[in-house]
Every structure is written in C-alpha cells, then in structure tokens.
C-alpha cells in the first residue's frame, strides 16, 4: 500500500464531527497499527531491494540469500494482508486513509447542510480540520468552535 490517498471500497456514510470525535479512541489504536506496520513494511521492502542488488542476491536456487529472501517475502505478504485488515476496520468506522505514513484520515460528513470532509491525524487529540467535499486537500480549514456545525443531523 502506498502512502498516497486510498480510495474507499464503498461510499462512507456521512458523519457529524461529534460522531467522529466519539470514535477517536478506537481510531487512534487502528491508525497507530496502520502507520507502524506500513513503515515496517516499507523498511523490509527496502532491505529486500538491497539484498537483490548484492552478488548472489538474485532469486536463483542455491543463491546465498534465496532462503532469507523467500522468508522475508512471505512475511511481507502476510503483513500486507494484516495491513489491509486494519484499513478495512478503519473504513468500517467511516474513515478514509489519506496518508499511511502520517496517519492522516478523513471522514465524509455534513455540516450546515453541505457535504464536507472532517480530518484527523495520529497524535492529535481532536479532529483537526474540515474541507468542502468537492475540494482538494489543500482547501483545509481549522475545525474551530463555530467554524462548521459539529452536531449537524447527517441522516
């Protein structure tokens, strides 16, 4: 999985900022697992690339590193599946992974009758920003008291 924005597998239900805020304790744990495993996988993939460049590092039978490479690649495949499971848990809670390195996620929501995204980043105590639904990520606005309605009815 790349650190780039990930498209959700299904359209998330719109949430209020209050709904998202209530989910943050569980989201912290899930996103922490995602960022940790994502970084670990990137490190291991880098190590495999280095080993492949060494003399005898090709995947040939009897190669000095063949057994080690096979073991590392099996672990990477297993952990890729685990990472997909974590992202699925996040999506089930309404989150959309935007950056696995930073632990940045967004939630589709409604505020003052308009569609918005609410954003949060691992390490933050509360939701950090909102942006119009049809804008790009550079159009973020601080989520301050009164900047958007935090308890809008999203049904």
pLDDT digits over 61-118, tens only? 566 677 778 888 999 999 999 999 999 999 999 999 999 999 999 999 988 888 999 9
Q: List the domain boundaries for the chain.
A: 17-142
Quote the Cα angle for 129-130-134, to 5°. Answer: 145
- pLDDT value of residue 1: 44
Range list of β-strands (E), the chain = 95-99, 104-111, 114-121, 129-132, 141-142
Average the pLDDT over 53-62 and give the result.
Answer: 66
Higher-confidence residue of 146 and 71: namely 71
Sign of CA dihedral 133, 134, 135, 141: negative
pTM attached to this predicted model: 0.79
Higher pLDDT, 3 or 80: 80
Task: Assess contact for 111 and 152: CB atoms under 8 A.
Answer: yes
């Amino acid at each position: 999985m790349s650190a780039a924005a990930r498209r959700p597998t299904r359209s998330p239900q719109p949430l209020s900022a209050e709904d998202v805020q209530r989910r943050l304790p569980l989201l912290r744990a899930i996103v922490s697992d995602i960022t940790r495993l994502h970084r670990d996988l990137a490190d291991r993939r880098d190590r495999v690339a280095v080993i492949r460049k060494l003399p005898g590092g090709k995947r040939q039978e009897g190669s000095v590193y063949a057994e080690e490479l096979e073991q590392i690649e099996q672990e990477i495949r297993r952990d890729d599946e685990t990472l997909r499971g974590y992202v699925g848990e996040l999506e089930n809670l309404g989150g959309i992974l935007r950056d696995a390195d930073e632990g940045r996620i967004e939630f589709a929501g409604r505020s003052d009758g308009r569609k918005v995204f609410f954003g949060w980043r691992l390490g933050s105590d509360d939701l950090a920003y909102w942006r119009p639904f049809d804008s790009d990520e550079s159009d973020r606005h601080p989520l301050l008291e009164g900047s958007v309605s935090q308890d809008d009815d999203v049904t």
